[in-house]
C-alpha cells in the first residue's frame, strides 16, 4: 500500500532534484556509516560447489532462516537474493514510496479487472514486491501487527498442529526487541531479539485524535498485539533509532562474519534441480553476473521467495498443476495446486479529509534542510502510517474478538505530494487524478484506509512463460465473493464515523466531498457510491499470501505439510507468506518473520 505524501516528508523532491545528492550524502555520513555499528553483509563472489542448506530469497522469512540455521557452526548455508543490498534511501522511513517502481522493486501488475482497480491504468493494480536484501520489509511501511490469535487457532483447526496461537506466540517473542517502555512488562512482548519494534519517534497530532475518536465511538485504546485486538492504537513499527529496521538489518548484518554463512546478491534463481526419479531436490540453478550456475544442496533447499516468486519457481521446476505445466511445455515432476489460494488485503484509498490547520504532511510546506537535520542528527525520522485500528462490521462474529476490518490512518492523502509521484506509484489514471485531486493539490489532508482482513475471494498465480525472466500472471480475483464487498462498505461507514468524531473538529477536519468521476451518477456516500469508490481506488496493502498453502495430507488444496515440506518432493520446503492457509488479520510482515523463526526450528528438529 502506498501512503501518499511519504516521499514528500523530507521535502527533497518538491524542492528541486539538485538537492538529492546533498541530502543523501548527509544521511550516509551521519547515519549509515557513523551511527549504525553493523557493517553491510558480505556479497560472496567465490561460492562453494555444495552447501548443507540453500535458502532462496533474502526477504522477511529467508533472512531469519539463514540467521537461525547458521547458529549451528557444523552446517553451512548459502542465501541467494535476486536483488542488491539496501542503500541510504531505504533507511529513511519517509522515502518508502519512492522505492517503488525502482530497481529494488519487482514492479508487478495484476491482470486487468472489472471488479477492482477501476481507477488504475488498464484496470491493473501495481503490486510492489521487494527485489532487495530484506525483501518487502525494505519497501513496506514498517507496521508491526501480528494478526489475531483466532487466525492461528484456525490454522491449527485446519489440520496444522503446532500452528495454533499458543504455539506460535513464543516465535513472535523470540524475534522481538520492543523498546516501548509501557509494554516492557507485557507477557505479549519481549526485549533482546534481533528485530527492533517501537512507535515512530515523530508523529502528527492527528493520530492522538484518531485514537480518541475510537473511544468516542465505543472502541478501546489498546495494544493490538496484546490480549485483545479490537480497538485503536498509535502504530508500532520495525523502526530503530528513527530508521527502518528491515530483516536484512535485523537478522543478516549481525551474522555477516559467520564463516558458515555465504550470501550471493543479484543471484536470480531460475530453477530448483529435482531428480525426477527419486523426487529429491538436490540443487539450485541461478544466473549471476550473466553466468548460469548450479550449486548442490546436501540436505535441503528452502524456498523463501514470497507469495509470487515461490510458486513461479516451483512451477518452473516441474512442481505445480499438471495441466498448466504441460501447456507450458514443462515436464511434470509433481502435480500440486501451486499458485492457487492467492489472497491479499485490499484497501479503499478514497476517503480524504481536508483540514483548516497545518497538522498533516504536505510536501510544498516542508523545509528540506530542517527535516533532514531532524532525521540524521536527532533520530526523528517521520513515518507515514500513524494509527491502526481493528473494528467489527455487522458481518463479523460479535461473540469473538476477531474483527473483520482494519484501518490505516495516515496524515496525508493522494494529493499530498502535489502530483509528484504518488499517483504514478498507485498507477492511477492521469485524468482521474487531475479531476479528483488537482483541486486540492496544495491542501492539508489526511485519510483513513479501511481494508478487508479475511477475504473470501481467492485468486491465482500462473506462469506467463517458461522463461524465468518473464513475470508470472497474477489474478487476485478481488471481490469475487459478494460478502467481501458488503463487508468493505460497512468498514467504510465506520471509518467515516471515526472521522466525524468531535475530537477532529479542532483541526477543521471534514470529508472532501468531490465525487469520483466514474461514480458521480450515484448518490454521494450511498452504499452504491461507496461500492463504486471501493472498486475504483483499490490499494494493495502488500499482503499477498497463500499460494503454496500449508495443510494436512488429506487436504487436496495443500502444497506443503505442517512442517512446511513440499508434498512428494524430498529435501524441499517453503518458508514464507505463501504457506498461509488463510491470510492473517493484520499486516503480514511480523507473521512472516514468525514463520521464518518456526520454520528454522522445524528444520533443526528434523536434522537434530
**pLDDT value of position 15:** 32
Each residue of 288-339: pLDDT tens digit? Answer: 999 999 999 999 999 999 999 999 999 999 999 999 999 999 999 999 999 9
Tell whether the model's pLDDT for residue 179 goes beyond 80: yes
Under the banding of pLDDT at 50, 70 and 90, the label for residue 192 is: very high
**pLDDT value of position 383:** 53
**pLDDT value of position 113:** 97
**pLDDT value of position 2:** 56
**pLDDT value of position 198:** 93
pLDDT, greater one: 93 or 417: 417
Tell whether the model's pLDDT for residue 21 goes beyond 70: no
Q: Is the dihedral of CA 423, 427, 430, 433 positive or negative?
A: negative
Each residue of 481-505: pLDDT tens digit? Answer: 999 999 999 999 999 999 999 999 9
- Within 10 angstroms of residue 182's Cβ, the number of other Cβ atoms is 10
pLDDT, greater one: 203 or 271: 271
**pLDDT value of position 325:** 98
pLDDT, greater one: 382 or 165: 165
Each residue of 514-525: pLDDT tens digit? Answer: 999 999 999 999
Under the banding of pLDDT at 50, 70 and 90, the label for residue 377 is: very low
DSSP 31: I
Binding site feature residues: 132, 269
Each residue of 216-242: pLDDT tens digit? Answer: 999 999 999 999 999 999 999 999 988
pLDDT (average), residues 84-102: 85
Hey, where are the domains in the chain?
1-35+91-125+201-234+345-454+478-540, 41-86+132-199+237-339+545-608
**pLDDT value of position 14:** 32
- List 475's β-bridge partners, or say none: 460
- List 297's β-bridge partners, or say none: 51
Catalytically active residues are 543
Mean confidence (pLDDT) of the chain: 91
Tell whether the model's pLDDT for residue 341 goes beyond 50: yes
Each residue of 112-159: pLDDT tens digit? Answer: 999 999 999 999 999 999 999 999 999 988 999 999 999 999 999 999
**pLDDT value of position 421:** 85
pLDDT (average), residues 374-378: 46
Listed in sequence order, the residues at least 6 apart from 602 whose beta carbon sits closer than 8 Å to its beta carbon are 563, 564, 573
Q: Is the dihedral of CA 410, 415, 420, 425 positive or negative?
A: positive
**pLDDT value of position 454:** 98
Q: Rounded distance, CA 314 to CA 468, Å?
A: 11
Q: Residue 335: how many CA atoms within 13 Å on its side-chain side?
A: 5
Binding site feature residues for FAD: 132, 269
Each residue of 25-46: pLDDT tens digit? Answer: 444 444 444 445 458 899 999 9
Tell whether the model's pLDDT for residue 9 goes beyond 70: no
Tell whether the model's pLDDT for residue 585 goes beyond 80: yes
pLDDT (average), residues 336-351: 97
Under the banding of pLDDT at 50, 70 and 90, the label for residue 371 is: very low
**pLDDT value of position 242:** 85
**pLDDT value of position 6:** 39
Listed in sequence order, the residues at least 6 apart from 260 whose beta carbon sits closer than 8 Å to its beta carbon are 70, 72, 73, 74, 75, 76, 77
For the domain made up of 41-86+132-199+237-339+545-608, the CATH class stated in words is alpha beta
pLDDT (average), residues 357-376: 65
In whole angstroms, what separates CA 130 from the centre of its chain?
9
Under the banding of pLDDT at 50, 70 and 90, the label for residue 19 is: very low
Q: What is the CA radius of gyration of the chain?
A: 23
Q: Rounded distance, CA 343 to CA 249, Å?
A: 28
**pLDDT value of position 608:** 86
With respect to CATH, is domain 1-35+91-125+201-234+345-454+478-540 assigned 2.40.400.10?
no
Amino acid at each position: 500500500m502506498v501512503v501518499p505524501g511519504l516521499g514528500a516528508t523530507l521535502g527533497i523532491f518538491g524542492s528541486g532534484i539538485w538537492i538529492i545528492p546533498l541530502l543523501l550524502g548527509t544521511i550516509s555520513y551521519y547515519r549509515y556509516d557513523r551511527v549504525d555499528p553493523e557493517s553491510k553483509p558480505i556479497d560472496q563472489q567465490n561460492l562453494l560447489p555444495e552447501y548443507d542448506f540453500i535458502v532462496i530469497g533474502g526477504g522477511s522469512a529467508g533472512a531469519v532462516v539463514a540467521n537461525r540455521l547458521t547458529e549451528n557452526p557444523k552446517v553451512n548455508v548459502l542465501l541467494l537474493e535476486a536483488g542488491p543490498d539496501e542503500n541510504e534511501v531505504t533507511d529513511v522511513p519517509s522515502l518508502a514510496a519512492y522505492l517503488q517502481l525502482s530497481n529494488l522493486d519487482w514492479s508487478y501488475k495484476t491482470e486487468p479487472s472489472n471488479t477492482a482497480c477501476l481507477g488504475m491504468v488498464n484496470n491493473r493494480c501495481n503490486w510492489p514486491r521487494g527485489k532487495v536484501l530484506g525483501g518487502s520489509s525494505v519497501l513496506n511501511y514498517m507496521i508491526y501487527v501480528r494478526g489475531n490469535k483466532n487466525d492461528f487457532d484456525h490454522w491449527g483447526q485446519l489440520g496444522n498442529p503446532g500452528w495454533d496461537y499458543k504455539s506460535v506466540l513464543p516465535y513472535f517473542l523470540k524475534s522481538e526487541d520492543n523498546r516501548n517502555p509501557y509494554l516492557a512488562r507485557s507477557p505479549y512482548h519481549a526485549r533482546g531479539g534481533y528485530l527492533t519494534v517501537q512507535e515512530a519517534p515523530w508523529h502528527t497530532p492527528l493520530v492522538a485524535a484518531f485514537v480518541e475518536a475510537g473511544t468516542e465511538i465505543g472502541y478501546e485504546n489498546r495494544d493490538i498485539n496484546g490480549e485483545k485486538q479490537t480497538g485503536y492504537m498509535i502504530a508500532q513499527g520495525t523502526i530503530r533509532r528513527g530508521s527502518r529496521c528491515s530483516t536484512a538489518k535485523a537478522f543478516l548484518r549481525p551474522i555477516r562474519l559467520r564463516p558458515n554463512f555465504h550470501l550471493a546478491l543479484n543471484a536470480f534463481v531460475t530453477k530448483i534441480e529435482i531428480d525426477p526419479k527419486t523426487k529429491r531436490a538436490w540443487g539450485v540453478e541461478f544466473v549471476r553476473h550473466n553466468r548460469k550456475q548450479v550449486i548442490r544442496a546436501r540436505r535441503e533447499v528452502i524456498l523463501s521467495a514470497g507469495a509470487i516468486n515461490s510458486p513461479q519457481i516451483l512451477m518452473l521446476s516441474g512442481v505445480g498443476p499438471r495441466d498448466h505445466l504441460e501447456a507450458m511445455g514443462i515436464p511434470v515432476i509433481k502435480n500440486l495446486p501451486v499458485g492457487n489460494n492467492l489472497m491479499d488485503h485490499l484497501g479503499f484509498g478514497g476517503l480524504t479529509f481536508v483540514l483548516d490547520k497545518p497538522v498533516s504532511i504536505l510536501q510544498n510546506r516542508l523545509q528540506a534542510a530542517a527535516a533532514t537535520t531532524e532525521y540524521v542528527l536527532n533520530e526523528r525520522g517521520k513515518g507515514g502510517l500513524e494509527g491502526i485500528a481493528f473494528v467489527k462490521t455487522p458481518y463479523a462474529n460479535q461473540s469473538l474478538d476477531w474483527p473483520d476490518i482494519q484501518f490505516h490512518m495516515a496524515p496525508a492523502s493522494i494529493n499530498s505530494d502535489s502530483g509528484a509521484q504518488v499517483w504514478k506509484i498507485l498507477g492511477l489514471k492521469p485524468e482521474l487524478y487531475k479531476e479528483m485531486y488537482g483541486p486540492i493539490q496544495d491542501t492539508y489532508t489526511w485519510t483513513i484506509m479501511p481494508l478487508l482482513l479475511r477475504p473470501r475471494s481467492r485468486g491465482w498465480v500462473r506462469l506467463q512463460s517458461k522463461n524465468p525472466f518473464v513475470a508470472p500472471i497474477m489474478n487476485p480475483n478481488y471481490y469475487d465473493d459478494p460478502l467481501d464487498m458488503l463487508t468493505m462498505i460497512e468498514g467504510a461507514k465506520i471509518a467515516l464515523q471515526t472521522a466525524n468524531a468531535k475530537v477532529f473538529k479542532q483541526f477543521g477536519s471534514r470529508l472532501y466531498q468531490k465525487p469520483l468521476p466514474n461514480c458521480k451518477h450515484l448518490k454521494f456516500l450511498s452504499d452504491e457510491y461507496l461500492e463504486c469508490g471501493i472498486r475504483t481506488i483499490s490499494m494493495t496493502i502488500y499482503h499477498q499470501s497463500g499460494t503454496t498453502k500449508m495443510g494436512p495430507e488429506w487436504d487436496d488444496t495443500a502444497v506443503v505439510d505442517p512442517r512446511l515440506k513440499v508434498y512428494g518432493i524430498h529435501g524441499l520446503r517453503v518458508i514464507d507468506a505463501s504457506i498461509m492457509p488463510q491470510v492473517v488479520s493484520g499486516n503480514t510482515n511480523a507473521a512472516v518473520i514468525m514463520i521464518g523463526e518456526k520454520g528454522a526450528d522445524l528444520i533443526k528438529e528434523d536434522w537434530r
